[in-house]
Amino acid sequence: MKYIIYHNPRCRKSRESLKYLQDNGHDFEVIDYIKNPLSIEEILKLVESLNIKPLELVRKNEAFWKENFKNKDLDDNQIISALSKYPKLIERPIVTKGKSSIIARPVDKLLNFL
């Protein structure tokens, strides 16, 4: 089965996971969600496959989150909308296989998932 890695090339952890997939001969597709932001529907599917709340997909330590969203009472739809508009707020990397996904941070999480 082909894996999908939602990848941010500027992120060291994301690059480590991508390298692990390459070095171990896994069949995968790379989605650069920074260049090609995910739709609301795609984010909803990821949240479901990760089995988490939308807020758990947010990089809460990002300055942009702290400056614009931290102290606001946002519902799940507003959070998903923000993730779609501002993709750098999405936790990374995310690796998907079929209907299951993980946030592969640290890269060791990939070992059990693959």
Active site residues: 11
In order of 27, 40, 47, 61, the CA distances from 57 in angstroms are 25, 13, 7, 12
CB contact set of 31 (below 8 Å; sequence gap of 6+): 4, 5, 6, 7, 38
Helix and strand tally (H, E) in the chain?
5, 4
Q: What does the alpha-carbon distance between residue 39 and residue 23 come to, in Å, rounded to a whole number?
A: 30
Per the document, the length of the chain is 114
